[in-house]
Structure 1
Amino acid sequence: MKQTILVTGGTGTLGKQVVKQLIKQGNTPIVLTSKENATVEEGATAVVGNLTLGTGLNEATAIADVIIHCASNPRNSAEVDIQGTANLLSAIPTDRSPHIIYISICGVDKSTYAYYQNKLATEKLIAASSFPHTIIRITQFHDFILHRILLPGLNEQESFIELPDKMSFQPIDIQDAAAYIVNSIREVPQGACLTIGGPEVFTVRELATTYLAYTGKEYAIRDLSAQSDFHNIFRSGINLTPENKTGTITWPIFLQNTL
C-alpha cells in the first residue's frame, strides 16, 4: 500500500539522501522546510513549516502516514530538537496515527554532553506519545569524521595532523544509513529503539593514516590530549555498536569516492 511520507530536515545532509532513496523506490515524499521556495529533490513536494515556531505543521502532518524526523540542530537543540518535536507531535490531527521514525545518535543515553542529553529528551517525548514509533540511533557519518575530526587538525604549512588521542569510531556512510531508515518504513512499528553503525571500527589514528594515504600527504600524526565532553564521547566507546554493523561502504571506499 502506497504511503504518504513526510520528512523533516529533508534539505539537510541525511534528509536529502533519505528523500532521494524514497523517490528511487517510487514514493513522492513531502519535505518540511522553513524556507519559502526551497529547492527539493525532483519528485518530492515541499511544504513550508517551522518546527520551532510551530507554524505550518498542521498542514504538513494532515495526510502523513509516516513521518521521518531527521531535523536537528546541535547548536540550538533545546529549541529545534525538543521544542520542535513537541510542536510536531501536538500538530498531528487527532484522527491520524502516523509511524514516527526518529533519527538519533548512538550513545545518547550514556553521555552528559548537552546535545546528546537533548536528543535523549526528544526520544523520550516521542516514546511517551500515543503514536507508533521507531527510534534509530546511528553512529557518526563518514562526512563527520572528515570535516569535524580530521580536517580541523590539518596543518598544511608544517605538514602534520593533530588529533585528540585515544578516540575510536565506527563510521557509517550516509547512503547506507538512509537505506536502513527507508527500509524501516516497511516494518511494523513496535516502539523499538534500534542502533546501527558502520561496517568497521577504527581508531582515530587509523582513520587519519588512511586519509593521508589517499591524499598522498606524508604528514606526521600528533596526539592531542584535549579534554571535553565532546571528545570524551569518542574515547569512552559509547559511540560504538560492533554488534550492529550495517552497510557496505567502508571508510576507504568513502575516501576513494570522495577524494
Structure 2
Amino acid sequence: MSQKFVAEVFGTFILVFFGCGAAVLMGSEIGFHGIALAFGLSIVAAAYGLGTMSGAHLNPAVSLGFVLSGRMSTGDFVSYVIAQLIGATLGALVIMLIAQGQPDYTVAVNGLGQNGYGAGYNGGYNLAAALIFEFVATLVFVTVILGATQSDSPAGFAGLAIGLTLVAIHLVGINVTGVSVNPARSFGPAVFVGGKALADLWVFIVAPLAGGALAGILHGMGITRSNNAKPTGN
C-alpha cells in the first residue's frame, strides 16, 4: 500500500502541476486550448509512468467509481483519497512558489487555477450550470476510465484514451467551471487561494463524487461494461 500511496501523491501532484501550472504560468500565452491539452497530457504522463503501481486514479471521484464497481476496497479508497489530497496540495504549493517569482503576482489577484462559477469567473455561468456540467462530465470521465481499464480492453491504450477524454472535457467546460471533475484537483488550489474558491469548493466535491458514483454503479451492474470483462482488484 505504501507504493500505491506514494504513486497517488506523485501522480496527483503531476496533474495539478501540469494543468493548473499551465493556467497560472502560461495561461495568457496558450489560452484555454493549451490548458486543456496540459491537463490531458498530465494524465497520459501519470498513467504510463505510475499506472502499474496504483492505477493512477489521481482523483477521489475515480476511486469512488472503482469502489462502487467492485474493483477496489473501501480501505484502499480512503488511503487513495488522502494521498490525492496531499498530492494536489503540494502541486498547488509549488505553483504558488514559482509564480511568486514574478513581481506582480499575488495569489489573491492571479489565483492558482482554482475552479469556480458565477459572476467574475470565466463565462459567468450560474450554480445550476456548474453542478450539471461537473456531474455529467465526471460521469463520462469515470465511465471511460472504468471501460478503458477493464480486463478485456486493448492493452496499452488506457492512458491515451483517458488523457484525450480529459482534453475533450476541458474543451467543453473550461469556460463554465475551469473543469474540476476531481475534488482533489479543486482542493489543492482552493486551500491557498481561500475566499470564494474555498466557499465554492463544495460544488467541486459533491458533483464529481456523484458523477463518479453513478459511473461506478452502472459499471458494476454491467450496463457500461463489456460482457467479457471480469472485475479486477486494484
From the CA coordinates, give the structure whose radius of gyration is larger: 1
Q: Which TM-score applies when normalising by structure 1?
A: 0.28
Bigger strand share: 1
Q: Which TM-score applies when normalising by structure 2?
A: 0.30
